[in-house]
Amino acid sequence: MTDSTSRQSCPTLFVTAPASGQGKTTITAGLARFFARQGKVVRVFKTGPDYLDPQILAQASGQPVEQLDMWMAGPEYCQQKLYEAAAVADLILIEGAMGMFDGEPSSADLAAYFNIPMAIVMDVKGMAQTAAAVAAGLAGFRQDITVAGLIANNCGSERHAQLIHDALPATLPLLATLARNEAVALPERHLGLVQAAEVYDQLEDCFDAAADWLAGSGFSLSGHAVTDLPAAVAFSAGRIEQPEKLLAGRHIAIARDQAFSFIYQDNLRLLEAMGARLSFFSPLSDTQLPRDVDAIWLPGGYPELHGAALAANHSIKACLVEHHGEHKPILAECGGFLYCLETLTDLGEQQHSMLGLLDGHGWMRGKRGCQGMQTAMLSEGEVRAHAHHRSRSTGTTEPVSHGRRQRHPAPGEAIYQQRGLTASYLHLFFASNPTAIAALLGAHNSQSVVLPEHFDNVG
């Protein structure tokens, strides 16, 4: 168990907004690149179960980026991650999710729990004094949060900026006014931002432009010079138990390429901490699995963008079918679940043959989909997870269970288990129940367990 009496301090700022689409990721990435160019070590966190923004922010900062979510991961986990980052960083930035008070727990809940000041990013196009009124309302909505100031994005002119500045209360500074700049826009597709590895050079140009954009605005996180850091926040160590070596001697092969990339780095670290040996393979380009594999993890991603290549790789498909035929464990999440079905029809209405490990067919469906927090109800134990997809499956067999939604009584995502395969739309957060994950992947001495007690107070 970690020593909870230890403390580390680091300048920290939480970047939030009244809604999605206000520019949080662009500004967080720009701040990370600006301070990284000053020689600072910048550690960035993303609130919520997001795979794409962390890829972007990791490239911008040059440092690993992890998710913080008190429901999915638990407050002790979040506390430990912030403590570890504060020990090595010159600056910690946290990008919020959705609006400032959206979700349970919300961005504001996380900031309040750790006493982190928040900067409100707002797209102010089409309003002036009203922007100040909205920002003041957000800042005063709860007494347990601290708001460092407003970052006015998409500001039309110096006069526009002055009107907002003059209308703000003295307790709410205008940290920056940013004119519209197409050069800093991040590339997007149907599930959000494009994966960083696909557009590395384009992102580099965006990050440098965003850093220059911020510097040209005369922004200040401290109330003084643009190069000054915000106030330091002290973080205590979390009470985190070290996992048992339940996967000692187990070799786990993980699909990782442009089709399958939705992988929490902490999931990988946990598997290794439990003693597993990890290898990676590409269902797009490899013809064989790694040698002597005990279990396989097929994570989420964008198989719908690579349906033809996945269908054409008959060699790796045969290896996966053989592995399944031997009743060896396979964990398939979202895109991995679609890959396990008989066919997948992409957004262009082209149908591609998949693995056929499960009866059924996957169909992409444009803008309609499902997202939200759920608990995977498994015979091995309960695992916290989330769903985010714009597809549906038809013709599947009867599921063994459904996810339990965080706040709604309707059944969640269907969960299928047969001959060692566990498949669903749910993305699992392994640290919420390491023993259950070990059992899914074939640990011999695991048994059914419920969630640890430290999750009880977050929903």
Active site residues: 334
> Is 108 within 8 Å of 47 (Cβ atoms)?
no
Distance CA 105, CA 110 (A): 7
Closest residue by Cα to residue 438 from 243, 247, 240: 247
Residue 72 has which token pair?
């999915």
Label residue 295 exposed, middle or buried (CB < 10 Å: 0-12, 13-18, 19+): buried
- Amino acid, res. 300: G
Residue 1 CB: number of other CB atoms within 10 A? 9
- Helices 52-61 + 200-217 axis angle, to 10: 70
Burial 398-434 (b: 16+ CB within 10 A, else e): eeebbbbbbeeeeebbbbbbeebbbbbbbbbbbbbbb
Residue 87 has which token pair?
């020990």
Bridge partner residues of 375 (DSSP): 384, 404
- Amino acid, res. 337: F
